[in-house]
Amino acid sequence: MEKESSQFIADATTTQNMEGEADEESNPLNQPLLKRSRTLSSNSQAMVGAKVSYIESLDYEINENDLFKHDWRSRSKVQVLQYVFLKWTLALLVGLLTGLIATLINLAIENIAGYKLLFIVHLIEKKRFGNHFISVFYGIHLFHWGNLLLTMVAAVLCVCFAPTAAGPGIPEIKDYLNGVDTPNMFGATTLIVKIIGSIGAVSAGLDLGKEGPLVRIGSCIASLLGQGGPNNYRLKWHWLRYFNNDRDRCDLITCGASSGVCAAFRAPVGGVLFSLEEVATWWRSALLWRTFFSTAVVVVVLRAFIQICNSGECGLFGSGGLVMFDVRNVTIKYHVLDIVPVAVIGIIGGVLGSLYNYCLHKVLRLYNLINQKGRIHKLLLSLTVSLFTSACQYGLPFLVNCRPCDSSLSETECPTNGRSGNFKQFNCPDGYYNDLATLLLTTNDDAVRNIFSTNTPYEYQTSSLLIFFALYCILGLFTFGIAVPSGLFLPIILMGSGYGRLLGLAMGSYSNIDQGLFAVLGAASLMAGSMRMSVSLCVIFLELTNNLLLLPITMIVLLIAKTVGDSFNPSIYEIILHLKGLPFLDAHPEPWMRDLTVDDGVVPPLGIATEATEAHGIILRAHLLQALKKKWFLREKRRTEEWEVREKFNWVDLAEREGNIEVAVTSDEMDMYIDLHPLTNTTPYRVLESMSVAKAMVLFRQVGLRHLLIVPKYVAAGVSPVVGILTRQDLIPYNILTAFPHLARTTGGEKGN
Amino acid sequence: MEKESSQFIADATTTQNMEGEADEESNPLNQPLLKRSRTLSSNSQAMVGAKVSYIESLDYEINENDLFKHDWRSRSKVQVLQYVFLKWTLALLVGLLTGLIATLINLAIENIAGYKLLFIVHLIEKKRFGNHFISVFYGIHLFHWGNLLLTMVAAVLCVCFAPTAAGPGIPEIKDYLNGVDTPNMFGATTLIVKIIGSIGAVSAGLDLGKEGPLVRIGSCIASLLGQGGPNNYRLKWHWLRYFNNDRDRCDLITCGASSGVCAAFRAPVGGVLFSLEEVATWWRSALLWRTFFSTAVVVVVLRAFIQICNSGECGLFGSGGLVMFDVRNVTIKYHVLDIVPVAVIGIIGGVLGSLYNYCLHKVLRLYNLINQKGRIHKLLLSLTVSLFTSACQYGLPFLVNCRPCDSSLSETECPTNGRSGNFKQFNCPDGYYNDLATLLLTTNDDAVRNIFSTNTPYEYQTSSLLIFFALYCILGLFTFGIAVPSGLFLPIILMGSGYGRLLGLAMGSYSNIDQGLFAVLGAASLMAGSMRMSVSLCVIFLELTNNLLLLPITMIVLLIAKTVGDSFNPSIYEIILHLKGLPFLDAHPEPWMRDLTVDDGVVPPLGIATEATEAHGIILRAHLLQALKKKWFLREKRRTEEWEVREKFNWVDLAEREGNIEVAVTSDEMDMYIDLHPLTNTTPYRVLESMSVAKAMVLFRQVGLRHLLIVPKYVAAGVSPVVGILTRQDLIPYNILTAFPHLARTTGGEKGN
């Protein structure tokens, strides 16, 4: 697995180089300067949205230079209060806006998809009565064309305006919060494309969720709010300067991601835990609390809208409360022996989940090859998938037999012809229903609701469930990689619930557990088997289904599925991160990193002349650029005073992170001096050259560094005071193994977590 | 607040010194050697269980010495598998044993307290029929004596055998996981005393919960399992050597603490989150998962026992399912306007919570003065509180009027004479009930259940609720500090529910929210106002009450209460930590720490001669002792070979952390050499002397250090290569402020969280 994906990256890079498509963010200054071997840093480019970008690391280190120190002292109590107030206001706004946009998306999807489905139902009804064959034929065409059009909107937007908006976005957020600043991740364009694209793609009936996109939307909102608006039209509000640093921006984005999950699943605690378990790298108790505040706001907004919509003012949106798939009124009876089917679900979920990861990896590699051929190929791929999906959704229900309605159900309950409803009439005579149509010809949310339905042991026949499961396995693999905003949650839930319900049907009377609960457990197990989360998934399922008594068996299923899955391959997010070439720094050093010392891969920094005997500190490129831009030049070689510096710079300037700027330096100025001492971080973290890479990595990751100075063990005259500088790229296991291939052979031990 | 508690610590130390009561753990070698001013380290002693103990820090740093490096390489794949297997087995055992012991405690308490209450009910019944006055009089005496006896058992055990078992234990666990190794925290004696003492204290009807003790019990079980049994009777199982390090021990104790919370509240997710939010300092995703496994096991054990007990085989224990205070069947109707009463509850909860913290602090200082007078004083204090409690519980219900039963209730429902039941007859005629007796003459768990009861708007009269609230305010303040195992959760829940229900009564028809829910929200708000947790409390309440629709308003209440409380004083746990003098390292440096550099408070280590030009590394005291004990002496001055060292030491020896040992060194041996290089950690983390204390503290805390070397900025001949060593004590704000009093004046800004 490892080997294959690395090959892929090599392929992608080569293709890229052959095409010579220069990226507008490419940045020659950011080329690695300090490495002995080129190999170690050949991967400083990430594949985001099939476009290679140069990336920078985020800065968490306390930058101790004279200027910042002074500014810290001069920050008054009022300013601290402003900062705290703004921090909470932004958390409130993030929650509010995410809630509003989520409602908007829900409304749009339910209405578009709803009217589309009503139209189909209407057509089928006509057909059942045996007339108007030709109009039916045209109608079906119209249905397919409608779906194609919706997909087209989503795909065109993604392809042309925001390639980074395709896909789920959770891996990228995870990587950002790990400290990697990938460009164009959280822009206004991405936000708008995500919203419209998500509406289009989900309404088109594709096997996609709005969950992943909502997480990204939440993060985009947070990022935009924090910087005061889109890049070119920023609000120049004085107070916002406090948020012009990587730490506060990361905090806000964490709030945004949690709000997104909360809005997607209506699961406030689950949202917070999701961020904690899956997304965030550093976590503080204070952040937990602020994140929680954001999700609380989201829930209040959602609840308010649901109340408004319950009075029927939102078109087809309206049914359902805060809990999405309510199985609350089921009395759950199970005893100790039921642990056997539960364990079986877990094991199968783990196996299927890792198999899904494996296959999806292959499909994504294939898709990447197709997508690199150009925009038209991307578009065509999306449209093909859309066409296949709608053909299956409409065609397959004709294959199964109609089933008679249970006599205990009233006529309004079975069969139904409305948009939702658990017993779809479709092509059946009165008193009969088509169980496959119930699952396929509906929105994804309703499909989940229908397959989770409890106390309906005879509703579905085995053949229908088999078709459903097989179809969603295929769709789940082939839909994810297309160029529209897509989430992984819903496809996996659909697949998992299919196999869970099948298992429940097979168990029959051997188990006390309801078939609907089998479906719920199946969905949970597949998610754990593929995404490898535990606590957050458990809470999300708890909040989705509102039944606390399910908790113990859900926990067991999740634990088993995750354990089984982990023994085969990494989680789907890790696979995607690796596919995109994003340098994610893991929490645990690999065992073989203990055998490698930090000086093994670095040479002295170029910036230090050989006769240098002192390391004064390090200076950020952005600050150097500022010094050049502001022409901070001196006629004589002298140490500047604090007031001089403060006249020229303030910390708001220095917090800016600009790209390259053109500075015209006259020949006169070329002879002048520049005093960097006020801008120099005089106390960078430093390690001895004899320290193992494992130990250095613990420091690097725990403190959130960008640069780590390596100092020699014995200082003597003529010896450079700095042996080298470690960066994120030097600590990525893949990069080290590329430079030291012999280590790869000795690996294989487990990480000592 | 700050100043007062420091005075207290000074007092305590003085008293200690005057009495001259030497502590068996006191350790002259552990005296601070390296500080310029004595002030900075005058607090290396902690007050645990009113006995001053010398404490050590835990070791998280990767110790890179030759021996460990070799052993790491030689660790085979089988050994790694053994380690992983054992890790999970221990997590399973922790869950299993915690579940079993929690069930045992529950059974014992419900039966002892149940028969005691039945006896009282029987007496009252006799009295109601107007005869046997004298036997009734003796009976009441018997009741009081019974309670006194139970309290006596708990107090004597605590005072004589395990002083550290008194109190809740959560602050100590929090401190341990922060890296402070307080002796006698997790011993077998503590465990047994906690179990029996908790049963005694709760059965005696004291205003105490079993929740805090259960958390400590879980941690004790984990610690004992990890080290293979009690200190003197350790199982010498080969495999257990893997767990002989501070990191794995901390992980296990985290599992134990989570299991304890889970067993106390039957809240598996809440337990995990509690550990995460309140207890643990460092957290990894892998740990989240293992903790979750432990709590899942606890829930399975609890559920199995509840099923057995439901068939009536557990004496008086039996009613109730997995959910403790089930308000699931309440239809919750609330709209946006209800946010006003909800906000009011939150604000009052915050104010009351911080007021409680303030008062409890005062009471605990008073109690500490009493407790230091000797064991008899401790015992007498406990017995006085017990006597007062039982007098109030029995006497106060006579003060209120009997209320007529609602006609809609059947005769078996109202009035009741059994152990539990919502409408206690007590001294009332048939058809009437005593509402205060319903709340007071019952176990604490049943009292909570009764006051949380929903759809009973006319059950309680204002006067009864007022008496209840006032009584539990007094009891909550004066019970906590006595020398029995006690938890803070239940007293606060009782107080909070009292005020919440009162507020609900006052609101009357102005709000749609049920009075029972007002009680729930009141309890939540007071807990947030005092303990300052957010997410974990929310989940615990969710799991306690099993009603997801409560979530949004619970969240709002918790957020408001925590915010209000935080603006007055720190959380109750922080106050207790500070009172005990335990050196807890906060996550955020104080703002003024940026103005202080690390060399401000240290002088060169004594171990380094002035002519030294190289710092080879640091060596642990435990390893030095091992070298002396094993007589690792050389006749000539030479560097030893690796095989020599390995013959003498293995990493199992070096992982031992022994106290002082007596080593007899002959005069011959005194002339010999010792080669420390194989035992030296050659790559300790090091910082420049010009680094600010704030930045050094971030490193110290994030990486979990014990020692941090300070190196000079400019190395030259004659300059010592190490300026000093920073330890935990040097970074505790209180200690720094004692040494640099002028900083205290400039403080006051908020922490930049």
Helix axes A246-265, A285-310, angle to 10 degrees: 40
Residue in A336, A535, A693, A720 to test binding to B, most B beta-carbons within 10 Å = A535
**Is B58 an interface residue toward A (CB < 8 Å)?**
no
pLDDT of residue A75: 65
Q: Which residues of B touch A288 (CB under 8 A)?
A: 277, 534-535
Q: Is the pLDDT of residue A322 over 70?
A: no
Cross-chain residue pair B286–A753, CB shorter than 8 Å: yes
**Is B62 an interface residue toward A (CB < 8 Å)?**
yes
Cross-chain residue pair A699–B695, CB shorter than 8 Å: no
Q: Is the pLDDT of residue B84 over 70?
A: yes
Residues B595 and B574 in one domain: no
β-pair partners for A709: A686, A725
In this prediction, residues A273-301 reach a mean pLDDT of 85
The overall average pLDDT reported for chain A is 78
Residues B413 and B551 in one domain: yes
Q: How confident is the model at residue A569 (pLDDT cuts 50, 70, 90)?
A: very high
- Find the CB nearest A546 among B307, B548, B699: B548
Q: How confident is the model at residue A657 (pLDDT cuts 50, 70, 90)?
A: low
**Is A743 an interface residue toward B (CB < 8 Å)?**
no
Q: Are A256 and A214 in contact (CB under 8 A)?
A: no
Q: pLDDT digit string (tens) for A469-524?
A: 999 999 999 998 888 888 888 999 999 999 999 998 888 777 777 888 899 999 99
Q: Which residues of A touch B80 (CB under 8 A)?
A: 749-750, 752
Q: Which residues of B touch A295 (CB under 8 A)?
A: 555
Q: Which residues of A touch B701 (CB under 8 A)?
A: none
DSSP string, A530-583: HH---HHHHHHHHHHHT-GGGHHHHHHHHHHHHHHHHTT---HHHHHHHHTT--
- Find the CB nearest B683 among A286, A539, A690: A690
Residues B496 and B610 in one domain: no
In this prediction, residues B408-427 reach a mean pLDDT of 75
- Where is pLDDT greater, at A15 or A415? A415
Read off the amino acid at residue A3.
Answer: K
Q: Is the pLDDT of residue A647 over 70?
A: yes
Residues B34 and B55 in one domain: yes
Residues B700 and B687 in one domain: yes
Domain holding B645, by residue range, is 623-672
Read off the amino acid at residue B646.
Answer: R
Q: Are A15 and A374 in contact (CB under 8 A)?
A: no
Question: Between the ranges A441-455, A476-490, A613-627, B612-626, where is the mean pLDDT highest?
Answer: A476-490
Residues A450 and A368 in one domain: yes
In this prediction, residues B19-45 reach a mean pLDDT of 34
- Where is pLDDT greater, at B347 or A414? B347
**Is A303 an interface residue toward B (CB < 8 Å)?**
yes
Q: How confident is the model at residue A357 (pLDDT cuts 50, 70, 90)?
A: very high
pLDDT of residue A3: 35
B687 phi/psi in degrees, rounded to 5: -130, 160
Read off the amino acid at residue B471.
Answer: L
Record the tokens describing residue B743, joined without a space.
């900083």
Q: Which residues of A touch B682 (CB under 8 A)?
A: 688, 690
Tell me, yes or no, whether A126 lies in a domain: yes
Q: pLDDT digit string (tens) for B105-156?
A: 988 988 888 888 888 777 777 666 555 556 666 667 778 888 899 999 999 9
Q: How confident is the model at residue A335 (pLDDT cuts 50, 70, 90)?
A: low
Cross-chain residue pair A695–B686, CB shorter than 8 Å: no
pLDDT of residue B384: 92
Residues B531 and B545 in one domain: yes
Tell me, yes or no, whether A490 lies in a domain: yes
Q: pLDDT digit string (tens) for B238-271?
A: 677 777 777 888 889 999 999 999 998 888 888 9
**Is B335 an interface residue toward A (CB < 8 Å)?**
yes
Cross-chain residue pair B685–A682, CB shorter than 8 Å: no
Show which of A553, A579, A605 is a domain's final residue.
Answer: A579
Q: pLDDT digit string (tens) for A369-409?
A: 888 888 899 899 999 999 999 888 888 888 888 888 877 77
Residues B360 and B437 in one domain: yes
Three-class secondary structure assignment of B589-636: CCHHHHHCEHHHHECCCCCCCCCCCCCCCECCHHHHHHHHHCCCCECC
Residue in A555, A557, A697 to test binding to B, most B beta-carbons within 10 Å = A555
**Is A69 an interface residue toward B (CB < 8 Å)?**
yes
- ipTM of this complex > 0.85? no
Q: Is the pLDDT of residue A46 over 50?
A: no
Q: Which residues of B touch A335 (CB under 8 A)?
A: 307
A residues 700-729 closer than 8 Å to B (CB): 702-703, 714-715
Residue of B nearest to A751 (CA): B80
Cross-chain residue pair B289–A587, CB shorter than 8 Å: no
**Is B181 an interface residue toward A (CB < 8 Å)?**
no
Cross-chain residue pair A594–B559, CB shorter than 8 Å: no
β-pair partners for B686: A686, B709
**Is B546 an interface residue toward A (CB < 8 Å)?**
yes
- Find the CB nearest B555 among A292, A307, A562: A292
Show which of A544, A562, A579 is a domain's final residue.
Answer: A579
Tell me, yes or no, whether A191 lies in a domain: yes
- In Å, how far is A186's CA from the nearest CA of chain B? 24
pLDDT of residue B362: 93
Q: How confident is the model at residue B746 (pLDDT cuts 50, 70, 90)?
A: low
Residues B384 and B528 in one domain: yes
Q: How confident is the model at residue B7 (pLDDT cuts 50, 70, 90)?
A: very low
Q: A48-57, A127-136, A165-174, B522-531: which range is least confident on average? A: A48-57
DSSP string, A311-333: TT-STT-----SSSS--TT----
pLDDT of residue A419: 65
Residue of A nearest to B596 (CA): A69
Cross-chain residue pair B682–A694, CB shorter than 8 Å: no
Using alpha carbons only, how large is chain A's radius of gyration in Å? 28
Tell me, yes or no, whether B693 lies in a domain: yes
Helix, strand or coil for residue A487?
strand
Residues B631 and B731 in one domain: no
Residue in A72, A548, A553, A722 to test binding to B, most B beta-carbons within 10 Å = A548
- Find the CB nearest A543 among B300, B548, B686: B548
B residues 448-487 closer than 8 Å to A (CB): none
Q: pLDDT digit string (tens) for B584-597?
A: 888 788 878 877 88
User: For residue A410, how many other CB atoms are within 10 A of its CB?
Assistant: 7
Q: How confident is the model at residue B653 (pLDDT cuts 50, 70, 90)?
A: low
Q: How confident is the model at residue A11 (pLDDT cuts 50, 70, 90)?
A: very low
Q: How confident is the model at residue B360 (pLDDT cuts 50, 70, 90)?
A: very high
According to DSSP, the β-strands at A56-57 and A180-181 are antiparallel
Residue of B nearest to A65 (CA): B691
Q: pLDDT digit string (tens) for A93-113?
A: 999 999 999 999 988 988 888
Q: pLDDT digit string (tens) for A68-94?
A: 666 655 667 788 788 888 888 999 999
Q: Is the pLDDT of residue B568 over 90?
A: yes
pTM strictly above 0.95? no
- Find the CB nearest A552 among B69, B299, B749: B299
Q: Is the pLDDT of residue A606 over 60?
A: no
Tell me, yes or no, whether A149 lies in a domain: yes
- Find the CB nearest A307 among B335, B687, B703: B335
- Find the CB nearest B277 among A288, A595, A683: A288
Residues A509 and A551 in one domain: yes
pLDDT of residue B422: 75
Tell me, yes or no, whether B522 lies in a domain: yes
Q: pLDDT digit string (tens) for B475-501?
A: 999 998 888 888 888 999 999 999 999
Residues B631 and B738 in one domain: no
Tell me, yes or no, whether B515 lies in a domain: yes
- Find the CB nearest B715 among A300, A562, A715: A715
Q: Are A126 and A146 in contact (CB under 8 A)?
A: no
Record the tokens describing residue A580, joined without a space.
């995109």
Number of domains, chain B = 3
CA distances to A142, A198, A370, A444, B280 from A419, in Å: 18, 21, 37, 12, 49
Residue in B92, B295, B534, B549 to test binding to A, most A beta-carbons within 10 Å = B534
Question: Between the ranges A496-500, A543-547, A659-663, where is the mean pLDDT highest?
Answer: A496-500
Q: Which residues of A touch B64 (CB under 8 A)?
A: 691-692, 695
The overall average pLDDT reported for chain B is 78
Tell me, yes or no, whether B247 lies in a domain: no
**Is B566 an interface residue toward A (CB < 8 Å)?**
no
**Is B686 an interface residue toward A (CB < 8 Å)?**
yes
pLDDT of residue A641: 77
Residue in A62, A279, A536 to test binding to B, most B beta-carbons within 10 Å = A62
Cross-chain residue pair A552–B268, CB shorter than 8 Å: yes
Q: Are B572 and B352 in contact (CB under 8 A)?
A: no
Cross-chain residue pair B687–A685, CB shorter than 8 Å: yes
In this prediction, residues A526-549 reach a mean pLDDT of 83
- In Å, how far is B593's CA from the nearest CA of chain A? 11
Question: Between the ranges A337-351, A738-752, B594-608, B662-676, where is the mean pLDDT highest?
Answer: A337-351
A38 phi/psi in degrees, rounded to 5: -65, -30
pLDDT of residue A96: 95
Helix axes B515-531, B339-371, angle to 10 degrees: 50
